[in-house]
């Protein structure tokens, strides 16, 4: 069974703007110790569009060395170029990834038939499982539930879907259409509680950087039928879920990880951290309130 909670991990950079591989390994191990059942590298939150192919593979190796083989470690390898995505996916598999995350092609806006052929071409024969990633707000194309079902039927190693279309009816339709053996993940922390009640398996989370144990507790509560407790935890965390996306992800969560004491560094261009010193006042207050200081790394 795949983990309930995957953290889409940020990519830490040093002061020169290069990947801090040692810090990435340290961060991944800390996340696993604080509620993350698995890690996804070089996804949206990991600033994948700003990483080179070599950086992705070096990051994978460094984090694998840091967390060992017992932690599910997946890697974002989807692009808007089918051939390039397939090459990256094979490199990830050969480099030790346990699975790959394949985002819908962005900018070129393929039709549904194009999506089917794109994902089938990438996944066919791949020696590791794949997770489809639907996020039309970033890609400009919506992977429809019927299309996802066709892809899964044609490619047995497509075992999961990260659904971030922002539509609960589409989430429910997807869960209804795909095989019970397919893991459906919420791709938005703010929709996770409701997605769980609809039958989703888990979440690919940003907020788990900060409140992994609480998200884990909410997951357990819902799965045990304690909706009241799950609802309470969700209500407590909702302000954080929303504040983390006040600025384009991962700007806010990267700031928060620096605030905790990690050496997360800045985001890479074309992203930019706001220069207004008040930009993260609300986030700071929420982190102080919701993240026990005893768990902060390098806490003074």
Which residues, other chains included, contact 90 with Cβ-Cβ below 8 Å and sequence gap of 6+?
Answer: 126
What does the H/E/C string look like for 83-132?
Answer: HHHHHHHHHHHHCCCCEEEEECCCCCCCCHHHHHHHHHHHHCCCCCCEEE
Angle at Cα 39 formed by Cα 210 and Cα 243, nearest 5°? 30
The CA distance from 103 to 78, in Å, is 5
Q: Which of 162, 204, 195, 161 is nearest to 179 (CA)?
A: 161
Supply the residues annotated as catalytic.
Answer: 133, 162
Residue 268, number of CB atoms within 10 A of its CB:
16
Alpha carbon distance 125, 252 (integer Å): 38
């Amino acid at each position: 069974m795949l983990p309930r909670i995957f953290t889409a991990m940020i990519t830490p950079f040093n002061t020169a703007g290069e990947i801090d591989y040692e810090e990435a390994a340290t961060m991944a191990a800390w996340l696993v110790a604080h509620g993350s059942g698995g890690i996804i590298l070089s996804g949206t939150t990991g600033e994948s569009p700003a990483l080179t192919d070599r950086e992705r593979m070096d990051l994978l190796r460094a984090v694998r060395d840091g967390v060992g083989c017992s932690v599910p470690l997946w890697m974002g390898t989807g692009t808007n170029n089918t051939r390039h995505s397939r090459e990256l996916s094979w490199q990830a598999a050969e480099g030790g990834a346990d699975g790959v995350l394949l985002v819908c092609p962005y900018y070129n806006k393929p039709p549904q038939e194009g999506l089917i052929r794109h994902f089938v071409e990438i996944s066919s024969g791949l020696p590791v499982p794949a997770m489809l990633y639907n996020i039309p707000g970033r890609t400009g194309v919506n992977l429809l539930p019927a299309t996802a079902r066709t892809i899964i039927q044609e490619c047995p190693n497509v075992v999961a879907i990260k659904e971030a279309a922002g539509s609960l009816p589409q989430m429910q339709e997807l869960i209804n259409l795909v095989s019970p053996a397919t893991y459906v993940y919420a791709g938005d922390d703010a929709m996770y509680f409701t997605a769980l009640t609809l039958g989703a398996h888990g979440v690919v989370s940003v907020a788990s950087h900060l409140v992994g144990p609480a998200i884990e507790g909410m997951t357990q509560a819902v799965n045990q039928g304690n909706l009241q407790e799950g609802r309470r935890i969700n209500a407590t965390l909702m302000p954080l879920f929303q504040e983390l996306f006040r600025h384009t992800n991962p700007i806010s969560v990267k700031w928060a990880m620096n605030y905790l004491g990690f050496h997360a560094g800045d985001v890479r261009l074309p992203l930019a951290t706001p220069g207004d010193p008040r930009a993260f006042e609300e986030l700071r207050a929420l982190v102080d309130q919701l993240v026990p200081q005893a768990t902060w790394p390098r806490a003074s």
